[in-house]
Amino acid sequence: MDLDMSSMAAALGLSIPVLRFLLCFVATIPISLIWRIIPRTLPKHIYSAFTGVLLCYLSFGVSSNLHFLVSISIGYLSMLVCRPKCGVIAFLGAFGYLIGCHVYYMSGDAWKEGGIDATGALMVLTLKVISCAINYQDGLLKDEDLREAQKKNRLLKMPSLIEYVGFCLCCGSHFAGPLWSPSEKQPSPWGAVARALLQAAICMALYLYLVPLFPLTIFTTPVYGEWGFFKKLSYQYMCGFTARWKYYFIWSISEASIIISGFGFSGWSSTSPPKPKWDRAKNVEIIGVELATSAVQIPLVWNIQVSTWLHVYERLVQKGKKGGFFQLLATQTVSAIWHGLYPGYIFFFVQSALMIAGSKVIYRWQQGVSANSLKTILTLANFAYTLLVLNYSAVGFMVLSLHETVAAYGSVYYIGTVIPIILLLLDIVVKPPRPTKSKAQKKVQ
């Protein structure tokens, strides 16, 4: 078996630990199918807990489940002992424990060398633990004190221990992102599952083809230093483009797993005839990411389900008001720490805040001009800006170390940092024109 695993890993260009994880990840599909046909609620919870523990053991070893037990215990005890503050307690306890694991394992170094550990799954589990506690805490508030998202997700009743453990370790969502439960009778999932699996196969094939062509180790080599500005910028784009297909593959498998379990259905479209929607399972919109016309769109189409679980932004914005750059930067900083304590993560997420803020400036100019030709030019400018800054910023996320990040950014004169800052300064000095009103709008007034 070990020999076969070694041969398979060598053929795919993967390490044995990564291959073992991927095989377990693909196994979530048949496991989720069995979950779908299990009768009654209690056996489903027991099955979810058992299969989650088993897959984590096969992927990461015994220690993984011990780490998960700590986070699960922190979340459940906080809800059991101190409901009015359980969200805060779970956040400080579970998030603090995750940071401790990041420091201990420094997983990024292992990932770059072909290794893998349980911290990736622990990151998702931490979100689930914190969100459950926050939603249970929100259950104490009156309707008028809650936002719409809080009303939708609040928990009025304490879940039983087996419900909670089954929720935390449900295999499809534990490995790649949490989901809410379905609320109505569902159509056949097979078409949606086939589409997700076909997408996964294409994504993996493209990733395996591209990754040898664009190694990340080149940023500190003399060869890279001899290249011209545009060749360096193009290489950074291709590195970011290549890396994203790995995530597209993972999320496509997760989508298939969750759809086949019954959790992916989100209702019917408004078209005639109505078609089933599977939005609960979708974690990425590939075209939306690659052809985003504004950086503001990126969080809406990338890591979608995890983004909806990050409570930081909405909790920092006062009810009835819009968030600003501070709230955005705070959210991105928490997201950086959630990923791990590497300089590259910090650079990437701070860059993301700058990228989105700069894109908003361009968008305000788009809204302010009346000439269609100018609108088109500004739309194309926002698209080019998003493409440039996103892939420039992504280098930090991939190489992680301070030396490699600074070397890569500096090699293109920090263009992806300078342009957003210039846009923000221009927004202070030169205000965009106010949006022009159409004749119809004027008549209404």
Phi/psi-derived region of residue 61, left when phi > 0, alpha when psi is between -120 and 50, beta in every other case: left
Whether residue 265 contacts residue 277, with contact meaning beta carbons closer than 8 Å, is answered with yes
**Measured between alpha carbons, how far is 65 from 406 in angstroms, rounded to an integer?**
37
Q: How many Å apart are CA 194 and CA 336, to the nearest integer?
A: 34
State how far the Cα of 5 lies from the Cα of 296, in Å rounded to an integer. 43
Instruction: With H, G, I as helix, E, B as strand and everything else as coil, classify residue 278.
Output: coil
Residue 76: which of 59, 94, 60 has the closest Cα? 94
How far is it, in rounded angstroms, from Cα 116 to Cα 264?
Answer: 28
> What contacts 44, CB < 8 A, 6 or more positions away?
35, 38, 166
Q: Are 90 and 309 in contact (CB under 8 A)?
A: no
Q: Annotated catalytic residue: which of 45, 67, 311, 339?
A: 339
Q: What angle do CA 116, 103, 330 make, to 5 degrees?
A: 105
The pair of three-digit structure tokens given for residue 172, joined into one six-digit string: 């499809």
Tokens of 64: 């993984």
Alpha helices in 38-145 (DSSP H): 41-60, 62-81, 86-105, 107-112, 119-138
Number of other CB atoms surrounding residue 245 within 10 Å: 20
Is 45 one of the annotated active-site residues of the chain? no
How far does CA 108 lie from the centroid of its chain?
17
CA distance 95 to 310: 12
Q: At what angle do helices 372-399 and 402-411 cross, to 10 degrees?
A: 150
Q: Give which of 85, 263, 243 is closest to 174, Cα–Cα.
A: 263
3-class DSSP assignment, residue 267: strand
By annotation, the residues acting in catalysis are 339
